[in-house]
Structure 1
Amino acid sequence: MIKKHEIYKKDKWNMMTVEVQGRYIVLREISDQWGEETHTFMSRPALMHWAQNRFSKQEYEGQEDEWRRIMDAFKQV
């Protein structure tokens, strides 16, 4: 069974889908700037490590609520 999660960044053109496929976690990042990128993770800690590096807290200074929303969405996976 595949569980699918959608995480939005600002709008539907900048989003991520995360699918849990057995022991793999497949993340597709879609952006209006770069198109689509796919990342495969073997564990949730690996996914969280990537997310914390990809969405560094410093980038969201003054927008802590947005950063927290994105991190909470990853924790739901």
Structure 2
Amino acid sequence: MIKKHEIYKKDKWNMMTVEVQGRYIVLREISDQWGEETHTFMSRPALMQWADTRFPKEEYEDNMDEWRRVMAAFKGV
């Protein structure tokens, strides 16, 4: 069974979903800048490490609520 999580969605061109496929975690990131990127992780800690790099806390100093919401969504995977 595949569990799908929506991390964030601004519109149909800027969104991120995570699917748990057995022991794999597949993240799909769609953006109007880069198109679609897919990342596969073997563990939740690896996913969280990627998320910390992709969403550095310093870039969200003006909007900590959004950063907390995104990180909580990753932790909920």
- Other-structure match for 1:5: 5
- Aligned-residue Cα RMSD (Å) equals 0.8
TM-score (norm 1): 0.94
- Flag structure 1 segments of 5+ consecutive residues without an equivalent: none
How many pairs does the alignment contain?
76
- Other-structure match for 1:45: 45
Match for 2:73: what amino acid?
A
TM-score (norm 2): 0.94
1:56: how far off?
A: 0.2
Cα deviation, 1:17-73, whole Å, max 9, x if unaligned, reads: 100000000000000111100000000000000000100001111110000000000
- Flag structure 2 segments of 5+ consecutive residues without an equivalent: none
Identical amino acids, percent of aligned pairs: 83
- 1:36 correspondence with 2:61: no
